[in-house]
Chain A
Amino acid sequence: MINGLLWLLLCQLVGEVVVRTTGLPLPGPVLGMVILFALLQLRRPPREANVFRTSDALLKHLQLLFIPAGVGVITLLGVIGDHPLPLVGALLISWVAGLVTVGWLVTLLLGKAATR
């Protein structure tokens, strides 16, 4: 558990430092994800490795980690209430458009391979 957490924090740390020093338009943890992915592909740790167990445990409860920011939304709901139509309407329209565009394009580009 501790070793797994150390790997995750180390990758995030490197990601944050690189992003901050280079000014890359990317969140540190996302770069950390790329770094960890590269490490896993290179080192191929065994199935029962700590980093897998820790990651699986964290991702099982990924939703939990958004709750604090989500509660913050309540304090700002009033702003949405001031412009409900342009904000809520545009949000829904744009969300469906983006979702269906990516879904259809990938399906189209995968051709017959897209079956499952």
Chain B
Amino acid sequence: MSETLDWLRTSPLLGIFLTLLGYRLGLEVRRLSRDHALAQPVLIAIVFIGVALELLDVDYSDYSEGAGIIGFFLGPATVALAVPLHRQAHHLGRMFVPMLIALPVGAVVSIVTGVLAVRVLGGDRVLELTMAPKAATTPVSLAVSDTIGGLSSLTAVLAIVVGIIGAVAAPAVLTAARVRDRRARGLAIGAVSHGIGTSRALREDATEGAFSGLSMGITALLISALVPVVLHFL
């Protein structure tokens, strides 16, 4: 029996199964809660899988053996964001100037407020550097953090958390701020909450999702170019 358990712990089967089960559970909770903002499948799945790994005494590295196979598809899915964008391409001409101004300003605001807020709230320079690139999508923020001397694994955590915050709260905050245009809402979500925020935006509305995906891509580029420049002045 224990031999079987040992095999199961290290087999990719368990990681894939637990990930899908957690996600399925998350979808179910979302449906039962009638789309409550807090019922984000990714959040529910993380909690469920965390508890399951603890109970089954499985290490994260063993879990990621199988789960990594699912995570791999994040790459092709990012490429697939071209499809909603292609369907919205007729909006792009009108959006060119607004994007050209709003996204760089948004990236600078994200970096500056992140660094200054850490400073005011009592963090040290390393934490400032760790916070600076968090608005970019996870792999980019991690790489930038590494280059400038932040704690890159912590930056990756911040990027994931800021994505989940976006999925949970971005639509409500934008509505409270009276941002109603679907294109503006999408650009705002993608600029601060990358792919996880985009998955919520896609669910809200096709146009919103398309612009969120576009914004996430451009912001990744802007953050990696602007972080070293902005830090020079802070």
Contacts and interface: CB of A to CB of B under 8 A. Distances in A.
Contacts of B221: 25-26, 30
B139 interface: yes
A59 B181 contact: no
B163 A66 contact: yes
Interface string A17-41: 0000000011111101111110011
B184 A65 contact: no
Contacts of A29: 74-76, 78-79
Contacts of A106: 98-99, 102, 179, 181, 183-184, 187-188
Interface residues of B, number: 111
B137 interface: yes
A91 B134 contact: yes
Contacts of B94: 110, 113
Interface in A7-60: 8-9, 11-12, 15, 25-30, 32-37, 40-41, 51-52, 54-56, 58-59
B29 interface: no
Interface of B: 15, 19-20, 22-23, 26, 40-43, 45-46, 49-50, 53, 60, 63-64, 67-68, 70-71, 73-86, 89, 94, 97-99, 101-103, 105-107, 109-110, 113-114, 117-118, 121-123, 127, 131, 134-135, 137-140, 143-144, 151, 153-154, 156-158, 160-167, 170, 173-174, 177, 179-185, 187-189, 191-193, 195-196, 198-199, 202, 209, 213, 215-217, 220-221, 224-225
